[in-house]
Amino acid sequence: MLTVQEALSLVLENTVEQVRQSKKKLLDAKNFSLAEKITTDRDYPPFHRATMDGYALRLEELEKTKKFHLIGEIFAGDVWTPPANSKPNSTVKIMTGAAVPDYFDVIIKREDISENNNTVTIHSEKFHQWMNIAKQGEDAKQGTKVGEHGALVDDSFLTVAASIGYGDIYVYTPPSISLISTGNEILPVDTNPLRHQIRDSNSVMIRGMLRKYKARIQNLWTIPDNPELLLEKIPRCFKTDICIITGGVSAGDADFIPHTLKSLGVEEIFHKVKIRPGKPIWFGKKGETLFFGLPGNPVSARVTYKVFVEPCIRKFLHLAQESSYYLPLLKARKKKHDMEEYFRVKVINEGNHSYLQEIPSNGSGDFISSLHSDGIAIHPAAKSELPQNEQTQFLFW
């Protein structure tokens, strides 16, 4: 049986990065993956910029005197020209964000001066060249790369792109998805189930997680454990990039997914992984379409989506893989198997430290206990126990 890393490597090896692109208005591009290189159109700041309200002075004059002639006032957006009769030891009152005339190279904040009849007196003894001035180009020179293929268009990127004049940008087209929930016991969310039936939470959960990547749900079905219906529906998934099926992938008499997929010409790449929950996961490929068969229990489906499907989508969109984090475990935990275990945790603060607190649960069918979890921590396969305060790897949901 494959380890988690071996299985994930096979998923990524079989994932082809997207080439299709589309042009979107900047705000509409949020949460898409950037498909072009973005560079600055000019220096930033594009001029020497005042970083606070104060008085602009020349350092070599400030080192000789503390009294200056006030010859003007500059607001943000002003184009200021000095008077023709300007004298040495002159100063201008300047506001935050205004362009600092080339002649000046120091700004003294308003609290450190006094002004009387157009004479400004400096009371501060602490000053240096370019104090309280953001120099032209110190943030970025013209032509600096600020975005490249595979960057996630988030709020920070939107701010930068808008500032440098990009009204629209090219992004990669998100994957098209077929999503199938299987099981005789599964009913749509808005129905009243009998005692032996359950509502379809898996498709809602997965659709919610897919929204992060703007993935397009092209086919969405709830199918009972019926081989004929599966044979009828699944071929329509061949026109989508990824097909995600929940349920029917284990070894029970009604687990028809592996056999059905194979009979339709889908190549099995792996079936079963040393992971808990989620051991029965199935992965295969036909043409350019990738197939994930996830276990039907809600927590198993969520964990295997996070561990295997999401990295696939990120590679498809040229996105870097998400980083995991390490925090100390609040209480020790044990396991009696040799599989890599993913357990739900909440990040809590005690004193000046943060910890991972395990969420008690009644197994992979206990979706209620996930309510208060921030993510999943990893109990390595080779370790039977994680001691208290052990630095433990975890992923945010």
In tens, the pLDDT along 128-157 reads 999 999 999 999 999 999 999 999 999 999
Left (φ > 0), alpha (ψ -120 to 50) or beta: where does 71 sit? alpha
DSSP state of 82: -
pLDDT band at 339 (very low <50, low <70, confident <90, very high): very high
The pLDDT tens digits of the residues spanning 347-373 come to 999 888 999 999 988 776 677 778 889
Tens-digit pLDDT profile for residues 245-276: 999 898 777 689 999 999 999 999 999 999 99
**What confidence tens digit (pLDDT) does each residue in 37-70 have?**
999 999 999 999 999 999 999 999 999 999 999 9
* Amino acid (one-letter) located at 253: D
Give the span between the Cα atoms of 384 and 337, in whole angstroms.
8
pLDDT digits (tens, 9 = 90+) for 273-304: 999 999 999 999 999 999 999 999 999 999 99
How many CB atoms are closer than 10 A to CB 178?
Answer: 23
Largest CA distance in the chain: 97
Neighbouring residues of 46: CB distance < 8 A, sequence distance ≥ 6: 136
* Sign of torsion over alpha carbons 377, 381, 383, 384: positive
Q: How far apart are the C-alpha atoms of 55 and 110, rounded to whole Å?
A: 7
pLDDT for res 347: 96
What pLDDT, on the 0 to 100 scale, is given for residue 86? 81
Nearest Cα residue to 104 out of 156, 137, 61, 157: 61
Mean confidence (pLDDT) of the chain: 94
- Report strand pairing: 49-50 vs 33-34: unpaired
Amino acid (one-letter) located at 359: I
pLDDT of residue 212 exceeding 70, the answer is yes
